Structure 1
Amino acid sequence: MDQILGRASAERAGRVEKVQEICRERGVDVAVFTSPENIYYLAGLDYEGYFCLHALLVPAKGKPVLFARKIETPTILRQATQVQYVGYADNDNVAAAIASKLVEMAGESPRVALQRNSAANVMIDAPLRAALSTAEFLDSSGIAEEMRMIKSPFEVEQIKSAARISDVMIVAGIGTAGDGVTENTVAAEVYRAMISAGGQSPGFPPFIRSVDRLCEPHTTWTSRKLTTGDPFLLELSGCIARYHAPMARTAYVGKAPQSARKLSKISNEAHLEALKALKPGVRASDVHAAWKARLDASNVSPRLEHCGYTVGISFPPTWTGGPGINSLHGASTVPIRAGMIFHLLTWIADNEGNENFLSDCVLVEESGAVFLTKTSRELAEV
């Protein structure tokens, strides 16, 4: 554990240096980050206290400063050891305190880049502008997100560990399902397997749905009993050190109809076409084109307009990495590079009422993409 913490600490120091280099290139005196993903990436803060304002101030030179509620002091002193911490009380004027610190760091007329793509920006933008009218405000959105796109070997190790937990969760869920078993019983076993395997609480809860709710993208279990002939879906992610590895499988209670097996075959083939196309040097749109060509040839309809998105660090309420999602869609010019990790997915429906959702966590290596989640991609029957 000490070795892991040491590696993480060294990586964060390098990330802060890179942000500072970008600030100097752009003429930014201080970059301010407010999303939990970016603050974790740069400062190592892993907690649930981000429902209140927290802000990481990264100067072009010098030590970063973290503002957060005083009640979080024990957590921050233990986790965020590479920053200066300023705690505030609930009745403090936080904007004024941050403005004062910005002046201290960069003078009376600082050039400040705020993270405008963060939901927390609404808590700080207008008050900070009012408190520091002499500043020039820019945008820090995308600085850390672009860095987070390419995973280091250390980060890949964490996601591989998360992927192993995803497999354990999927196998447990499918193995528990059966005639007369409720969705919430399946969910309970998925959580038992996740926690027993060492997993953290993920950004999304496991999505567990059956029959007519298969088409709902972001709902999860009910007390409904599965019966023989029912299709059901599990989409979930293991989580280690806030790194995620999503995957999904579709299954049947009892024997699946032939039409569902046919749809599963198409889904699997399109999935593999996308995997084969996902390699360094191509664009995201090229991957989408290869995937879509296989679906078009089979006359089935995709539920989504993309076939995946980048994943890595995430906090509730999502595993997509917070703001700045990069999807594999038809108009994306994002270049594919080694070290990227995607939630690669195929979600399709046919004219007979069948649905199939198949997804995996995949790593882009120099020679192409590889599956990190390993559970069989054949249509499961339990």
Structure 2
Amino acid sequence: MRQRDDMTFPHEEYVRRIEGLRDRMRERKLDAVVISDPENLMYLTDYQTTGYSFFQALVVPLDGDCFMVTRNMEESNVHARTWVEKTRPYADNGDAIQRLIEALREFDLYNCTVGYERNSYFLPAYQQDRIHSAYTAGRLLDCFGIVEEGRMIKSKAEIEVMKKAAKATEAGMRAGIDAVKAGVTENDIGAAVSSAMFRAGGEPPAVMPYVTSGPRTMIGHATWEGRTVQDGEHVFLEIGGCYRRYHTAMMRTVVLQDKLSASMESAQRQMQKALRELKKYIQPGLTVSDADKIVRDIVSDGRHGGALITRSGYSIGIAFPPSWDEGYILSLMQGDPQILKEGMTFHIIPWVWGVDGNKTVGISDTIYVTEDGCESFFSLEEEFTLKPGDKKAASTPPKAEPPKAKSTNGKGASA
């Protein structure tokens, strides 16, 4: 492997990842794997591009050199960003799958047992069919998850990169909270969040921030659409900051009142308690199902009229659009017997959907599992932000306009 000066991690980190992958390949009796998922390519090589809708693949043999098959235009990303030295690009009017098959022949991998990511978002069925039709001398097996097994547990170096993403997340959230007031638009808030994230060193996230107000908070995964925030309403913010494709995320709620209603107070209290209790019990060995139950039971016990309608958390780390989470690798859900391990990272989301039947609110945290507990990536207070309206201005009646002077035109008529 060669080391580029601007790579995210030192040479040793990529060696560890490739060797870990090869250990799992031996366990599965695979001679090579074809990796096409953008997050997995980033994890193994530091390769990234926004052009991942075109076919791209890293081929990792059990022995010998790795190589990449990419679109001609994307080959520069291999040479500029990664340790990979061998590439086999294809032209825009070329045949990407045929280029892959030719490369497998060239590197003596045509009559082998080769794994491929059957569940990759960016390896569609028609391309998989063509690979099966063309790769006739060997055997193709689904190896989906073989890279993710390594990604699930972050190294200390990865944790440090996620701390940089967390600075962007927190800067964006503070700016978003500051920007909320009656009369501004959701777009104004989104602009403040985005500017602060990027000024704090953040890079383009997999998903732009979620900003909704009032009744629009009940629309799942909605974000700003120009609505003007009204006095007395609440604003829901969910922000995922990014650095070198690693993400951290948090939810917060701003209420434009001087006092919370009983139901909103209950929602805040239960979310705070859920985060506090879960972080008290998280440690290596706790099952995913038990972690979810802690959060779900506490949220359900409130008198807020809402519910936790989703999983209570998900793995988070490397991400490209369309999502910032690694929930397909591991999510905190009922019935999952997997255990937590040191180095796992989660966005914990005890958010409440449907407070009073028409409000969604959230307080969340991104944590990493330590040797004997967990730590948060953030320092921001885990509470609602109250922003009372300007009561003085609201209660002062408008000044009466002075009476207009009357004038005559000599006939007694007013002008």
TM-score (norm 1): 0.95
Give the structure with the larger helix fraction: 1
Q: Counterpart of 1:330 in 2: which secondary structure?
A: coil
Could you say if the C-alpha distance between residues 263 and 86 of structure 1 is closer, same or farther in structure 2, counting changes exceeding 3 Å? same
Question: Where does 1:277-292 land on structure 2 (aligned, <5 Å)?
Answer: 277-292=281-296
Shift of 1:83: 4.1
Task: Name stretches of at least 5 consecutive residues in structure 1 with no aligned partner.
Answer: none
Shift of 1:57: 0.6
Question: Is 2:268 aligned against 1:264?
Answer: yes
The residue aligned with 2:375 is 370
The residue aligned with 1:207 is 210
Q: Counterpart of 1:363 in 2: which secondary structure?
A: strand
The residue aligned with 1:220 is 223
The residue aligned with 1:359 is 364
Query: Per-residue CA shift, 1:282-303, capped at 9, x if unaligned?
Result: 1100111111222233355433
Distance in 2, Cα, partners of 1:34 & 1:171:
37
Match of 2:29 among 24, 27, 30: 27
Q: Counterpart of 2:19 in 1: which secondary structure?
A: helix
Could you say if the C-alpha distance between residues 352 and 79 of structure 1 is closer, same or farther in structure 2, counting changes exceeding 3 Å? closer
Q: Counterpart of 2:25 in 1: which secondary structure?
A: helix
Shift of 1:3: 7.2
Match of 1:54 among 51, 56, 72: 56
Distance in 2, Cα, partners of 1:264 & 1:324:
28
Could you say if the C-alpha distance between residues 72 and 4 of structure 1 is closer, same or farther in structure 2, counting changes exceeding 3 Å? closer
Moved more, 104-113 or 273-282: 104-113
Question: Is 2:328 aligned against 1:330?
Answer: no
Q: Is the 8 A contact 1:277 1:286 kept in 2?
A: no
Q: Counterpart of 2:165 in 1: which secondary structure?
A: helix
Shift of 1:258: 2.1
Q: Is the 8 A contact 1:207 1:220 kept in 2?
A: yes
Match of 1:249 among 249, 252, 255: 252
Shift of 1:380: 0.4
The residue aligned with 2:400 is none
Work out the number of aligned pairs and report it. 381
The residue aligned with 1:89 is 91
Distance in 2, Cα, partners of 1:219 & 1:350:
17
Q: Is the 8 A contact 1:302 1:346 kept in 2?
A: no
Q: Is the 8 A contact 1:30 1:106 kept in 2?
A: no
Q: Counterpart of 2:320 in 1: which secondary structure?
A: coil
Question: Where does 1:30-109 land on structure 2 (aligned, <5 Å)?
Answer: 30-109=32-111
Could you say if the C-alpha distance between residues 224 and 108 of structure 1 is closer, same or farther in structure 2, counting changes exceeding 3 Å? closer
Q: Counterpart of 1:5 in 2: which secondary structure?
A: coil
Q: Is the 8 A contact 1:145 1:324 kept in 2?
A: no
The residue aligned with 1:131 is 134
Distance in 1, Cα, partners of 2:151 & 2:267:
35
Moved more, 280-289 or 299-308: 299-308
User: Which letter maps to 2:30?
Assistant: V
Q: Counterpart of 1:164 in 2: which secondary structure?
A: helix
Q: Is the 8 A contact 1:162 1:245 kept in 2?
A: yes
Q: Counterpart of 1:309 in 2: which secondary structure?
A: strand
Structure with the larger RCO, 1 or 2 (CA within 8 Å, 6+ apart): 1
Distance in 2, Cα, partners of 1:6 & 1:328:
29
Task: Name stretches of at least 5 consecutive residues in structure 2 with no aligned partner.
Answer: 388-415
Query: Per-residue CA shift, 1:322-378, capped at 9, x if unaligned?
Result: x83311011111210010000001111434644321111111111212211221111
TM-score (norm 2): 0.87
Which of structure 1's runs of 4+ aligned residues deviate more than 6 A?
none
Give the structure with the larger strand fraction: 1
Shift of 1:65: 1.0
The residue aligned with 2:236 is 233
Shift of 1:170: 0.3
Identity of aligned residues (%): 29
Distance in 2, Cα, partners of 1:193 & 1:327:
29
User: Which letter maps to 2:101?
Assistant: A
Distance in 1, Cα, partners of 2:328 & 2:33:
17
Could you say if the C-alpha distance between residues 373 and 217 of structure 1 is closer, same or farther in structure 2, counting changes exceeding 3 Å? farther
Distance in 2, Cα, partners of 1:6 & 1:330:
35
The residue aligned with 1:161 is 164
Q: Is the 8 A contact 2:164 2:243 kept in 1?
A: yes
Q: Is the 8 A contact 2:88 2:99 kept in 1?
A: no
Q: Is the 8 A contact 2:247 2:316 kept in 1?
A: yes
Distance in 2, Cα, partners of 1:208 & 1:75:
33
Could you say if the C-alpha distance between residues 227 and 256 of structure 1 is closer, same or farther in structure 2, counting changes exceeding 3 Å? farther
